[in-house]
Structure 1
Amino acid sequence: MTIRVIVADDQEIVRTGLVMILETQDDIEVVGQAADGRRAVELARRLKPDVCLLDIRMPGMNGIEATRELSSEVAVVVITTFDLDEYVYAALRAGARGFLLKDAGSALLAQAVRAAANGDALIAPNVTARLLRAFAGTADPVQPFEPLTDREEQIITTVARGRTNHEIADELHISVSTVKSHVASLMAKLGARNRVEIAMWAYETGRIRNA
């Protein structure tokens, strides 16, 4: 199945580069481009892509605002030049399924798009642990709707370390479908919208200390 993507960045040369990288992938098709967040939202609602790749700093409606508008409708990956914790945190709280720096490289960019399309979340490795540790304990973590099972406790630590469903399945010697079921259960119990919020909860409750 081809993953349909919209790319939004106010710098034409950057936007063109991102499109060229994604178009080299056999399973990814760029179906729309935008120079600002408002246009990206309009295109997303009209074209219904699988993933939106949004820059943070754009005129008018920025990438965070656009993410907030779209995250319940389409998977969003945020990409930026600026490695600032407040940007990452705001993007994830807005519902982004991925966060990358523009120097991440073509392989990681394609991986983030695929992960988002598959319901996974990918954050640039150089910001993941630092970000989650920085915000651990900044808010009172929610109490799970039901106690977590032993297997869910295992799953949550692997999710918090950025593992994909396939990596978790290999590590725990279970099927991918079983991993997906456990992740869905965790989301329901924690009231989390995505895997990133599961990871945040793991850090906030002290389950992960040295990722």
Structure 2
Amino acid sequence: MLIAHPNLLERSAMRVVLDTSERVRVVALTGDGGQALSLAHQLQPTVTLLDDRVPAPHGADLVDALAQRSLLVVLTHATERRVLSMMLRAPIRGCLVYDNFEPTDLLGAVHAVAAGLGWLSPTAAAAATWSLRESAVRARAPDVDGSPRLPAGRHDRDSSTPLRTPRAARNA
């Protein structure tokens, strides 16, 4: 486990929480994005905790680069739906919003992500739900020419011909 956080005291506090679990071994702590990349390359941690305020090295996308080396859980102060929705499109496995999780949630997130699952704090989960709803509304909106959009894989042969339902799918 690698912890990349800009504040030394908070990094240390996270380590104390994570060290309470026999299943978690913190291998490194840093407050620098370049050093986080180097440590991730060298140590290959299963999970990396990344505070979104950690400065990225010049010209690097820190989230993408770290996600290539480790499963990534992002810590953020962002609470705006659009910001969180954009963040959730990145290759991260978990997102914890400060002031919306407890120390046990930090451990839960690390355990879940290490097991191949995801983890979202309630604020991040709400943003993900909002984003899915917004996508569904856009998908149902008519095209520019006013014709309704069809679900992926469906083709409108002509507007007067209803799409056929296979016999096995009918409730007859």
Shared fold (TM-score, shorter chain, > 0.5)? yes
Q: Once the 2 structures are TM-superposed, how far is the Cα of residue 130 of structure 1 from its aligned partner?
A: 3.6
Q: Is the 8 A contact 1:51 1:113 kept in 2?
A: yes
Q: Rg larger in 1 or in 2? A: 2
Task: Measure, in 2, the Cα distance between the counterparts of 1:134 and 1:28.
Answer: 32
Deviations for 1:33-71, whole angstroms, at most 9, x for unmatched residues?
110222211111110000000000122449x93221122
**2:54 aligns to what?**
58
Q: What are the equivalent positions in structure 2 for 1:1-211 lying under 5 Å apart?
A: 5-61=1-57, 65-103=61-99, 104-134=101-131, 136-137=134-135, 143=152
Question: Any runs of at least 4 consecutive aligned residues in structure 1 with deviations exceeding 3 A, and if so which?
Answer: none
CA RMSD of aligned residues (A): 2.7
Q: Which of the pair is proportionally richer in helix?
A: 1
Q: Aligned pair in 2 of structure 1 residues 72, 40: CA closer, same or farther (>3 Å)?
A: same
Q: Aligned pair in 2 of structure 1 residues 86, 11: CA closer, same or farther (>3 Å)?
A: farther
Task: Measure, in 1, the Cα distance between the counterparts of 2:86 and 2:34.
Answer: 18
Unpaired segments ≥5 residues, structure 1: 145-211
Aligned partner of 1:124: which letter?
A: S
Q: Once the 2 structures are TM-superposed, how far is the Cα of residue 99 of structure 1 from its aligned partner?
A: 0.2
Q: Aligned pair in 2 of structure 1 residues 51, 25: CA closer, same or farther (>3 Å)?
A: same
Aligned residues: 139
Task: Measure, in 2, the Cα distance between the counterparts of 1:56 and 1:128.
Answer: 17
Q: Normalized against structure 2, the TM-score is what?
A: 0.70
Q: Is the 8 A contact 2:88 2:128 kept in 1?
A: no
Unpaired segments ≥5 residues, structure 2: 140-150, 154-172
Q: Aligned pair in 2 of structure 1 residues 81, 129: CA closer, same or farther (>3 Å)?
A: closer
How many percent of aligned residue pairs carry the same amino acid?
28
